[in-house]
Chain A
Amino acid sequence: MTDARYYAASPADHAGPGNYPLNCWYVVATSDEVGRSLLGRQVLGRRLLLFRRQDGQVAALDDRCPHRAAPLSMGTLDGDQVVCRYHGFTYAADGECVRVPSQRHVPYGAHVRGYPVYEQPPFVWVWPGNPARSHGTEPPDLPPLREPGWAVLGGSLEMAVNYMLLHDNALDRTHFPYVHPHRIHRGYVEDPPPLQIEVAETTVSYSRTFTPAPLAGWQHEATGLPADMEYTQRETGTFVSPALHVDDMDIIGPEPERQLFRGVFIRAFTPVDAGRTLIIWRGARNYARGDESVTERLREVYEGTMTEDQPLLEAIQATTGGGAGYQVSAAADAAAIRAYQIVEALLAEERGRSVIGRRVARRD
C-alpha cells in the first residue's frame, strides 16, 4: 500500500456497482454536442462536465464542485475556466482550483478530477480509469466515420438496461425472425448458413455468408436493386471493446460489376450506471450517398431495430437485475458468452483479483 499513485485512482474508480472495465475508452458525447458552454452528462457511474477549450480541445471533469458539491455545469465558462454557480470557485480546464473569491488562498485539495479525452469526430471518448493507463492507447479506429466515400447518419438513445445486455443482443442473430421479422431476408429463416464465431483475447465476432436470396424490403429500397433478383449477402459483427460493437452488412451487386453495397452499423454502448446505457450510434453506407430519402429509410431501420429490441431488453433487465443469471444458453449464444468472459477477464486484471474459480488467474 505504499504507492499513492496506484491507489489514488482506485476508490473513485470502483465507486458504485459497475460491471464495466474502467481502463477503456467510452464515447460520452458527439463532437457537435460539446462547444463553448458547459455540458453535464451522467455516464460511467458519475456526472461528467464537458466543454471545449479556446484551442478547440475537449475537457472532461467531474461535474461537482469539491466545495459544496454544486454541479459545475450549472456555472459559467469564462475563457478556459469554469466558475461555480454557487460561490464562484474557479477551476482551470485541468481541474485545478485557481480562485476562491471569499479568500486570498486556494484551500488545499481544491481540485476537480479530470479525465483523459480523445476526440475523433464524430465521437468524444473519455477514459474513466487510471489516467496513466490511457497513455499510448487510442480508441478503436473507425475508418467509415473519417474517410471520404461514406454517407453517415446517426443518433443516440438511452435504454434502461445494463450495457452487456446490449452486447449480448448485438452478437445474437437468432432473435431476428422473432423480434424483427419484417426486416430480414429469406436467408435468415430458410437454411441459414453456419454462423462463424471468431474469438481473440479481447474481441469476438460473428460472420456468415448467405446463399443468394431476394433482398428484404428495406434493402431493396435503400440500394435501388431490384426486388425480384437474388443477391449474395454477408454479415459480420464485432465486439470491438466493452464500449463498442460494429456490424458490417454487405450485399454483393449483380454481375459483372459485383458492386459492394456495404452498410456499417456502429454502436457505442456507454454505461450510465448498472441499469442504464447510453447508445450513441452511426450508420455508414458506401452507396446512394447523396440520397436523403435513403438516409431517412435507413434511419427508420436502425432506430426501429433498436426500439423493437428495447421493451424486451428492458423487461429482461427488470427480471434479472442486469446480472446475466441466464439458466440456459444455446449454441448460437457462443459469441455473447465469450463477450461476458472477455469482460470478466478484463475486470479481473483491472481489479488485481482472480476470476473466481478460474485457473488463469493463479498459475502458481
Chain B
Amino acid sequence: MSSGEPPSAAMLTVFSERRSDLVITAREARAEGVISLTLADPGGARLPAWTPGAHIDLLLGDAVRQYSLCGPPGDQHTWRIAVLLDPGGRGGSVTVHQTLKVGDQVAVRGPRNHFPLHAAPRYIFLAGGIGITPIMPMIAVATEAGSDWRLFYGGRSRTSMAFLDELAPYGEQVTTWPDDEKGLLPLDDILASPADNELVYCCGPEGLLAATEQRCAAWPAGALHLERFSAKPQPESAVGQEVPFEVVCQRSGLTVTVPPGTSIIDALDEQGVSVLSSCQEGVCGTCETQVLEGVPDHRDSLLSEDEREANEYMMVCVSRSKSDRLVLDL
C-alpha cells in the first residue's frame, strides 16, 4: 500500500529504562537484618542479561531504591537482590522488610551497570557489610575466567554478614573481617603493594570507600573501581544562593534557562528534552551527559576530582553550572 509515500506526520520517540513488573519467588534471611529476594517474570519470560556490578531500581510507591544484582549472572529467568534493614534510612529498606513477601509483585527498572567488572588477571575485592552484593557475581565470574583474586569482607559482626555460606567454598581466597572480632579491615596491608594488571573493586559504607580511595592514591590510574550506595556528603547550598544559567542542547538546538531551585534535568524536561535518569541524587550515573562547553558545578558522588576538572561529563540531575552557559550533547 501507500507506495513511496513519505510519512505525513513526525514520529515521537520516547526513551526510557526498561520497566517490568516482577513477582517475588523467594524471600530468605541471609544475616541479621539482611534478606534476599528472588524476582522472576510472572509469565516465566526471559529477563534481560546483565553483567557483574549491575543494579536495578525497586519502585516502592513514591520511593526508588537501588539494589545490586547478587545472583548468578548466567541466570536468564531470575534476579536476586539483598536488602539490609536500615531503620534510620529513608524508609525503602523498612518497606521491603516489612511488606514484601513471596508472591507479591514489584515494579523494577533496569538493570544498569556503573560498576562493571573489567577483565584482569588479578583482583582485590573489598566489601563492607551489604556492599558484598555486587561482589558476589564478580567473584563468580572472576573464578570462571581463571583470574587470581582475593576478597576482604568486613562487617559489624559475623552474624550481620550475608552470604558467608556461599563464600565458604572459596576457602582462603576469602578473608572475613568482623569489626567486633578484628577491628576495621587492614587496608594498609591489603593495598600495600600497587601492582600492574591488578584491579581493586570496593563497595561498602562511605568510610571504607574514602579510606580505600586514599590508600589507592599510589596505585596506577584506573586500578580502583568504587560503588557508592548513597550520595557523598555535599556542602549545603541554599537555594537562595543559586543563580540562573543557560543550557544549550547542541543536538536538539534548544536553549533552556535553569532557574535557582530547579535541576537541569527538570528544566529540560519542561521543554520536551528528556534525559534518562534514575536516582535524582547524583549516585547512579544514569543521567551522565557530555559537556561540550562551559564549566559545570559538579554535585554528584560519582566523578573523581580529575574527572570533575576535565569537564567532559556531568550528572545533570544534581549538578549545576559555574559558567553562565553550558553546552551539552543533548
Select from chain A the residue with minimum beta-carbon distance to B17.
A199
Partner of A363, one of B114, B147, B148: B114
A284 to nearest B CB, angstroms?
15
Partner of A203, one of B3, B49, B77, B140: B49
B311 to nearest A CB, angstroms?
12
Given contacts A140-B46, A140-B76, A350-B119, contact A201 B313 (CB under 8 A): no
B230 to nearest A CB, angstroms?
15
B18 to nearest A CB, angstroms?
4
List, sorted by A's number, 19 A–B pairs whose CB atoms are closer than 8 Å.
Answer: A3-B147, A130-B145, A132-B145, A173-B11, A174-B11, A177-B2, A182-B3, A194-B13, A199-B17, A200-B112, A202-B49, A334-B15, A349-B117, A350-B119, A357-B312, A359-B307, A363-B224, A363-B226, A364-B225
* Contact assessment for A132 and B18 in the assembled complex, using a CB-CB cutoff below 8 Å: no
- Find chain B residues with CB under 8 A from A202 CB: 48-51
Select from chain B the residue with minimum beta-carbon distance to A360.
B114
* Contact assessment for A362 and B222 in the assembled complex, using a CB-CB cutoff below 8 Å: yes
Give the docked Cα–Cα distance between A291 and B4 (Å): 31
Give B141-177 as 1s and 0s: 1 = Cβ < 8 Å from A's Cβ atoms. 1001111100000000000000000000000000000
Interface residues of B toward A: which range?
35 or more
- Find chain A residues with CB under 8 A from B223 CB: 364
* Contact assessment for A185 and B1 in the assembled complex, using a CB-CB cutoff below 8 Å: yes
Q: Quick check: is A277 within 8 A (CB to CB) of the other chain? A: no
* Contact assessment for B11 and A198 in the assembled complex, using a CB-CB cutoff below 8 Å: no
Q: Quick check: is B282 within 8 A (CB to CB) of the other chain? A: no
Give the docked Cα–Cα distance between A113 and B223 (Å): 32
Q: Which residues of B226-266 have CB atoms within 8 Å of chain A's CB atoms?
A: 226-227
Select from chain A the residue with minimum beta-carbon distance to B72.
A136
Give the docked Cα–Cα distance between A363 and B115 (Å): 8
Q: Which residues of A130-186 have CB atoms within 8 Å of chain B's CB atoms?
A: 130, 132-133, 135-138, 140-141, 173-174, 177-178, 181-182, 184-186
Question: How many interface residues does A have (CB within 8 Å)?
Answer: 65
Partner of A137, one of B74, B197, B225: B74
Select from chain B the residue with minimum beta-carbon distance to A194.
B12
* Contact assessment for A195 and B144 in the assembled complex, using a CB-CB cutoff below 8 Å: no
- Find chain B residues with CB under 8 A from A199 CB: 15-18, 276
Give the docked Cα–Cα distance between A332 and B147 (Å): 41
* Contact assessment for B5 and A203 in the assembled complex, using a CB-CB cutoff below 8 Å: no
- Find chain B residues with CB under 8 A from A185 CB: 1
Main secondary structure on B side of the interface with A: loop
Partner of B145, one of A6, A348, A363: A6
Q: Which residues of A211-229 have CB atoms within 8 Å of chain B's CB atoms?
A: 216-217
Chain B interface residues toward A at CB < 8 A: 1-9, 11-19, 46, 48-51, 54, 72-77, 110-122, 140-141, 144-148, 197, 213, 216, 221-227, 276, 285, 288, 302-304, 307, 312-313
Select from chain B the residue with minimum beta-carbon distance to A4.
B146
* Contact assessment for A189 and B4 in the assembled complex, using a CB-CB cutoff below 8 Å: no
- Find chain B residues with CB under 8 A from A137 CB: 73-74
Given contacts A198-B18, A201-B113, contact A359 B276 (CB under 8 A): no
* Contact assessment for B146 and A135 in the assembled complex, using a CB-CB cutoff below 8 Å: no
* Contact assessment for A2 and B14 in the assembled complex, using a CB-CB cutoff below 8 Å: no
B227 to nearest A CB, angstroms?
8
* Contact assessment for A359 and B74 in the assembled complex, using a CB-CB cutoff below 8 Å: no
B40 to nearest A CB, angstroms?
13
* Contact assessment for B144 and A181 in the assembled complex, using a CB-CB cutoff below 8 Å: no
- Find chain A residues with CB under 8 A from B18 CB: 198-200, 203, 205
Give the docked Cα–Cα distance between A359 and B304 (Å): 9
* Contact assessment for A349 and B119 in the assembled complex, using a CB-CB cutoff below 8 Å: yes
Partner of A195, one of B11, B114, B147, B313: B11
Select from chain A the residue with minimum beta-carbon distance to B11.
A192
- Find chain B residues with CB under 8 A from A197 CB: 13-16
Given contacts A138-B74, A199-B18, contact A189 B118 (CB under 8 A): no
Q: Quick check: is A241 within 8 A (CB to CB) of the other chain? A: yes
Select from chain B the residue with minimum beta-carbon distance to A215.
B1
* Contact assessment for B112 and A363 in the assembled complex, using a CB-CB cutoff below 8 Å: no
* Contact assessment for B121 and A332 in the assembled complex, using a CB-CB cutoff below 8 Å: no
- Find chain B residues with CB under 8 A from A140 CB: 46, 49, 76
* Contact assessment for B14 and A194 in the assembled complex, using a CB-CB cutoff below 8 Å: yes
* Contact assessment for B116 and A345 in the assembled complex, using a CB-CB cutoff below 8 Å: yes
Sorted nearest first, the 4 A-B pairs with minimum C-beta distance are A5-B146, A137-B74, A352-B119, A136-B74
Q: Which residues of A301-320 have CB atoms within 8 Å of chain B's CB atoms?
A: none
* Contact assessment for A189 and B145 in the assembled complex, using a CB-CB cutoff below 8 Å: no
